[in-house]
Amino acid sequence: MAVSVIKEGDWVLIYFNDRKSYVVRVEKGREFHTTKGLIVLEDLIGAEYGSRHETNVGEEFYVTRPTIVDMLSALKRFTQVIYPKDIAYIILSSGIGPGSRVVEAGTGTGYLTSILAYYVRPSGRVYTYEAREDFYRKAVENFERIGLLPYITVRRRDVREGIKEDDVDAVFLDMPDPWNVVGHAFGALRHGGVITVFVPTVNQVSRSIEALRKTGFRRLEAVEVLQRSYKTVPRELRPENVGIWHTGYIVRGQKL
Protein backbone atom coordinates (compact mmCIF):
# COMPACT_ATOMS: atom_id res chain seq x y z
CA MET A 1 0.00 0.00 0.00
CA ALA A 2 1.52 3.34 -1.09
CA VAL A 3 2.09 5.94 1.62
CA SER A 4 0.51 9.32 0.94
CA VAL A 5 2.15 12.32 2.54
CA ILE A 6 1.17 15.96 2.93
CA LYS A 7 2.74 18.43 0.52
CA GLU A 8 2.96 22.21 0.66
CA GLY A 9 -0.23 23.70 -0.75
CA ASP A 10 -2.43 20.73 0.21
CA TRP A 11 -5.75 21.33 1.95
CA VAL A 12 -6.06 19.19 5.08
CA LEU A 13 -8.66 18.47 7.74
CA ILE A 14 -7.39 19.06 11.27
CA TYR A 15 -9.54 16.94 13.57
CA PHE A 16 -9.64 17.34 17.36
CA ASN A 17 -13.06 15.76 18.00
CA ASP A 18 -16.54 15.52 16.47
CA ARG A 19 -17.30 19.09 17.51
CA LYS A 20 -13.98 20.70 16.72
CA SER A 21 -12.27 20.41 13.33
CA TYR A 22 -10.78 22.81 10.78
CA VAL A 23 -9.95 22.87 7.08
CA VAL A 24 -6.71 24.69 6.33
CA ARG A 25 -4.11 24.96 3.57
CA VAL A 26 -0.60 23.82 4.46
CA GLU A 27 1.92 26.61 3.77
CA LYS A 28 5.46 27.29 4.86
CA GLY A 29 5.89 30.07 7.40
CA ARG A 30 2.24 29.99 8.45
CA GLU A 31 0.85 29.33 11.90
CA PHE A 32 -2.73 28.26 12.56
CA HIS A 33 -4.30 29.35 15.84
CA THR A 34 -7.09 27.27 17.39
CA THR A 35 -8.89 27.19 20.74
CA LYS A 36 -6.74 24.16 21.55
CA GLY A 37 -3.40 25.76 20.79
CA LEU A 38 -1.14 26.74 17.91
CA ILE A 39 -0.19 24.55 14.95
CA VAL A 40 2.89 25.27 12.83
CA LEU A 41 1.58 24.18 9.43
CA GLU A 42 5.05 23.79 7.95
CA ASP A 43 5.64 20.94 10.41
CA LEU A 44 2.90 18.94 8.68
CA ILE A 45 4.74 18.83 5.34
CA GLY A 46 5.97 15.30 4.77
CA ALA A 47 3.71 13.80 7.45
CA GLU A 48 1.41 10.93 6.48
CA TYR A 49 -2.30 11.51 6.06
CA GLY A 50 -4.04 10.07 9.11
CA SER A 51 -1.10 10.81 11.40
CA ARG A 52 -1.47 12.19 14.93
CA HIS A 53 0.13 15.44 16.14
CA GLU A 54 0.04 17.90 19.04
CA THR A 55 -0.45 21.64 19.34
CA ASN A 56 2.03 23.79 21.23
CA VAL A 57 0.06 23.13 24.45
CA GLY A 58 -0.08 19.35 24.01
CA GLU A 59 -3.60 18.97 22.60
CA GLU A 60 -3.75 16.00 20.21
CA PHE A 61 -5.23 16.19 16.72
CA TYR A 62 -5.34 14.08 13.56
CA VAL A 63 -4.62 15.40 10.09
CA THR A 64 -6.37 13.83 7.09
CA ARG A 65 -7.86 14.59 3.69
CA PRO A 66 -10.97 16.80 3.65
CA THR A 67 -14.11 15.82 1.75
CA ILE A 68 -15.68 18.25 -0.74
CA VAL A 69 -18.19 19.25 1.98
CA ASP A 70 -15.30 19.92 4.36
CA MET A 71 -13.62 22.03 1.69
CA LEU A 72 -16.70 24.18 1.30
CA SER A 73 -16.33 25.30 4.90
CA ALA A 74 -13.28 27.24 3.68
CA LEU A 75 -15.48 29.43 1.48
CA LYS A 76 -16.22 32.94 2.69
CA ARG A 77 -20.02 33.02 2.88
CA PHE A 78 -21.85 36.23 2.09
CA THR A 79 -25.16 34.79 0.82
CA GLN A 80 -27.47 31.97 1.87
CA VAL A 81 -26.30 28.66 0.40
CA ILE A 82 -28.11 25.51 -0.74
CA TYR A 83 -27.74 22.67 1.78
CA PRO A 84 -25.84 19.46 0.84
CA LYS A 85 -29.05 17.41 1.25
CA ASP A 86 -30.64 19.40 -1.57
CA ILE A 87 -27.50 19.54 -3.71
CA ALA A 88 -27.15 15.75 -3.57
CA TYR A 89 -30.62 15.28 -5.07
CA ILE A 90 -30.08 18.11 -7.57
CA ILE A 91 -26.90 16.52 -8.94
CA LEU A 92 -28.23 12.96 -9.00
CA SER A 93 -31.50 13.88 -10.74
CA SER A 94 -29.73 16.08 -13.30
CA GLY A 95 -27.55 13.22 -14.55
CA ILE A 96 -24.36 15.31 -14.71
CA GLY A 97 -20.89 13.90 -14.22
CA PRO A 98 -17.31 14.20 -15.48
CA GLY A 99 -17.32 16.00 -18.82
CA SER A 100 -20.72 17.66 -18.43
CA ARG A 101 -21.26 21.29 -19.44
CA VAL A 102 -23.45 23.12 -16.96
CA VAL A 103 -24.96 26.61 -16.68
CA GLU A 104 -25.80 28.02 -13.25
CA ALA A 105 -27.29 31.27 -11.93
CA GLY A 106 -26.88 33.12 -9.64
CA THR A 107 -23.43 32.46 -8.31
CA GLY A 108 -23.70 34.06 -4.87
CA THR A 109 -21.11 32.59 -2.50
CA GLY A 110 -20.34 29.87 -5.06
CA TYR A 111 -21.31 26.91 -2.88
CA LEU A 112 -23.39 25.09 -5.50
CA THR A 113 -20.99 26.21 -8.25
CA SER A 114 -18.07 24.59 -6.43
CA ILE A 115 -19.83 21.25 -6.00
CA LEU A 116 -20.93 21.25 -9.64
CA ALA A 117 -17.33 21.94 -10.71
CA TYR A 118 -16.09 19.15 -8.45
CA TYR A 119 -18.38 16.65 -10.19
CA VAL A 120 -17.86 17.72 -13.82
CA ARG A 121 -14.08 17.90 -13.63
CA PRO A 122 -11.60 17.23 -15.16
CA SER A 123 -13.05 17.63 -18.67
CA GLY A 124 -16.37 19.37 -17.90
CA ARG A 125 -17.13 23.01 -17.18
CA VAL A 126 -19.51 25.15 -15.16
CA TYR A 127 -20.64 28.50 -16.55
CA THR A 128 -22.00 30.57 -13.69
CA TYR A 129 -23.81 33.91 -14.03
CA GLU A 130 -23.76 36.64 -11.39
CA ALA A 131 -25.32 40.08 -11.86
CA ARG A 132 -23.75 41.78 -8.83
CA GLU A 133 -20.16 42.99 -9.16
CA ASP A 134 -19.35 42.51 -5.44
CA PHE A 135 -20.66 38.92 -5.42
CA TYR A 136 -18.81 38.21 -8.68
CA ARG A 137 -15.44 39.28 -7.26
CA LYS A 138 -15.89 37.44 -3.95
CA ALA A 139 -17.01 34.25 -5.72
CA VAL A 140 -13.90 34.24 -7.94
CA GLU A 141 -11.76 34.54 -4.79
CA ASN A 142 -13.61 31.58 -3.26
CA PHE A 143 -13.05 29.41 -6.34
CA GLU A 144 -9.36 30.29 -6.35
CA ARG A 145 -9.14 29.55 -2.63
CA ILE A 146 -10.28 25.94 -2.98
CA GLY A 147 -8.63 25.27 -6.34
CA LEU A 148 -11.73 24.83 -8.53
CA LEU A 149 -11.47 27.96 -10.72
CA PRO A 150 -9.87 26.00 -13.65
CA TYR A 151 -13.23 24.25 -14.15
CA ILE A 152 -15.42 27.36 -13.85
CA THR A 153 -16.22 30.28 -16.14
CA VAL A 154 -17.65 33.14 -14.08
CA ARG A 155 -19.76 35.57 -16.08
CA ARG A 156 -20.46 39.06 -14.73
CA ARG A 157 -23.86 39.16 -16.39
CA ASP A 158 -27.56 39.09 -15.57
CA VAL A 159 -28.76 35.70 -16.82
CA ARG A 160 -32.16 37.26 -17.54
CA GLU A 161 -30.46 38.93 -20.55
CA GLY A 162 -29.67 35.55 -22.06
CA ILE A 163 -27.39 32.51 -21.84
CA LYS A 164 -24.32 32.57 -24.08
CA GLU A 165 -23.71 28.81 -24.09
CA ASP A 166 -25.60 26.23 -26.12
CA ASP A 167 -25.90 22.45 -26.18
CA VAL A 168 -25.35 22.26 -22.42
CA ASP A 169 -26.25 19.23 -20.31
CA ALA A 170 -27.98 21.03 -17.45
CA VAL A 171 -29.14 24.43 -16.21
CA PHE A 172 -29.47 25.26 -12.51
CA LEU A 173 -31.34 28.36 -11.36
CA ASP A 174 -31.11 29.58 -7.76
CA MET A 175 -32.79 32.97 -8.02
CA PRO A 176 -36.06 34.63 -6.96
CA ASP A 177 -37.66 34.70 -10.44
CA PRO A 178 -36.44 31.68 -12.41
CA TRP A 179 -39.52 31.82 -14.68
CA ASN A 180 -37.89 34.81 -16.40
CA VAL A 181 -34.97 32.60 -17.51
CA VAL A 182 -36.81 29.40 -18.46
CA GLY A 183 -36.97 30.37 -22.15
CA HIS A 184 -33.22 31.06 -22.28
CA ALA A 185 -32.57 27.75 -20.54
CA PHE A 186 -34.67 25.81 -23.06
CA GLY A 187 -32.65 27.30 -25.92
CA ALA A 188 -29.32 26.54 -24.26
CA LEU A 189 -30.03 22.90 -23.36
CA ARG A 190 -29.32 19.92 -25.58
CA HIS A 191 -32.17 17.47 -26.15
CA GLY A 192 -32.45 15.36 -23.02
CA GLY A 193 -30.91 18.14 -20.94
CA VAL A 194 -32.35 19.00 -17.52
CA ILE A 195 -33.33 22.28 -15.89
CA THR A 196 -33.43 22.49 -12.09
CA VAL A 197 -34.92 25.38 -10.14
CA PHE A 198 -34.42 25.93 -6.41
CA VAL A 199 -36.92 28.24 -4.67
CA PRO A 200 -38.06 28.70 -1.04
CA THR A 201 -41.85 29.19 -1.40
CA VAL A 202 -44.78 27.32 -2.94
CA ASN A 203 -45.84 30.43 -4.85
CA GLN A 204 -42.52 30.36 -6.66
CA VAL A 205 -42.92 26.64 -7.29
CA SER A 206 -46.29 27.28 -8.92
CA ARG A 207 -44.98 30.04 -11.19
CA SER A 208 -41.92 27.98 -12.11
CA ILE A 209 -43.98 24.92 -13.07
CA GLU A 210 -46.32 27.06 -15.14
CA ALA A 211 -43.38 28.61 -17.01
CA LEU A 212 -41.66 25.26 -17.56
CA ARG A 213 -44.80 23.67 -18.98
CA LYS A 214 -45.58 26.65 -21.19
CA THR A 215 -42.02 26.68 -22.57
CA GLY A 216 -42.15 23.02 -23.55
CA PHE A 217 -40.32 21.20 -20.76
CA ARG A 218 -41.61 17.72 -19.92
CA ARG A 219 -41.27 15.22 -17.05
CA LEU A 220 -41.90 17.97 -14.50
CA GLU A 221 -41.52 17.31 -10.79
CA ALA A 222 -41.39 19.28 -7.54
CA VAL A 223 -39.53 17.81 -4.57
CA GLU A 224 -38.78 18.77 -0.97
CA VAL A 225 -35.88 16.99 0.75
CA LEU A 226 -35.90 16.66 4.55
CA GLN A 227 -32.99 15.55 6.72
CA ARG A 228 -33.19 14.06 10.21
CA SER A 229 -30.01 13.43 12.21
CA TYR A 230 -29.63 11.01 15.12
CA LYS A 231 -27.49 11.23 18.23
CA THR A 232 -24.59 8.81 17.67
CA VAL A 233 -24.01 7.82 21.30
CA PRO A 234 -24.22 4.14 22.31
CA ARG A 235 -27.47 3.35 24.18
CA GLU A 236 -28.68 6.92 23.60
CA LEU A 237 -29.67 6.58 19.96
CA ARG A 238 -32.47 9.05 19.27
CA PRO A 239 -33.26 11.93 16.90
CA GLU A 240 -31.35 15.14 17.53
CA ASN A 241 -33.38 17.98 19.04
CA VAL A 242 -32.58 20.21 16.07
CA GLY A 243 -32.91 19.12 12.45
CA ILE A 244 -32.73 20.50 8.92
CA TRP A 245 -36.31 20.57 7.73
CA HIS A 246 -37.61 22.93 5.05
CA THR A 247 -34.85 24.70 3.14
CA GLY A 248 -36.41 24.98 -0.30
CA TYR A 249 -38.20 23.26 -3.17
CA ILE A 250 -36.50 21.58 -6.11
CA VAL A 251 -38.39 21.91 -9.40
CA ARG A 252 -37.12 19.89 -12.33
CA GLY A 253 -37.96 19.55 -16.03
CA GLN A 254 -36.41 17.95 -19.11
CA LYS A 255 -36.08 19.08 -22.70
CA LEU A 256 -37.26 16.18 -24.88
At 154-181, the pLDDT tens digits run: 999 999 999 999 999 999 999 999 999 9
- Specify the pLDDT at position 218: 98
pLDDT in tens, 48-87: 999 999 999 999 999 999 999 899 888 888 888 899 999 9
pLDDT of 255: 98
Beta strand pairing call for 125-130 and 101-105: parallel
What was the pLDDT predicted at 2? 61
pLDDT at 73: 84
Instruction: For residue 44, give Cα distances in angstroms to 27, 50, 68, 72.
Output: 9, 11, 21, 22
Predicted pLDDT at 176: 96
The pLDDT value given to residue 41: 96
Phi/psi class of residue 228: alpha, beta or left (left: φ > 0; alpha: ψ in -120 to 50)? beta
Q: Are 10 and 26 in contact (CB under 8 A)?
A: yes
DSSP string of the chain, one letter each residue: ----B--TT-EEEEEEETTEEEEEE--TT-EEEETTEEEEGGGGTTPBTTEEEE-TTS-EEEEEPPPHHHHHTTS---S----HHHHHHHHHHHT--TT-EEEEE--TTSHHHHHHHHHHTTT-EEEEEE--HHHHHHHHHHHHHTT-GGGEEEEES-GGG-----SEEEEEE-SS-GGGTHHHHHHHEEEEEEEEEEESSHHHHHHHHHHHHHHT-EEEEEE---B--B--STT---B-SS-B----EEEEEE--
Which whole number is the average pLDDT over 84-99?
Answer: 95
What confidence score (pLDDT) does residue 58 get?
Answer: 95
| pLDDT average, residue stretch 96-113 | 96
Q: What is the mean pLDDT of residues 1-28?
A: 90
Domains within the chain, CATH numbers bracketed: 11-66 (3.10.330.20), 71-254 (3.40.50.150)
Q: Is the Cβ–Cβ distance between 189 and 216 less than 8 Å?
A: no
pLDDT at 3 over 70: no
Confidence band, pLDDT 50/70/90 cuts, at residue 112: very high
pLDDT at position 242 is 78
The neighbouring-strand residues paired with 170 are 102, 194
Confidence at 1, pLDDT banded by 50, 70, 90: low
Q: What is the pLDDT, as a whole number, of residue 232?
A: 87
- Residue-averaged pLDDT of the chain: 94
Q: What is the pLDDT of residues 209-252, one digit of tens each?
A: 999 999 999 999 999 999 888 988 888 899 888 777 889 999 99
pLDDT, greater one: 188 or 245 = 188
d(CA 202, CA 250): 11
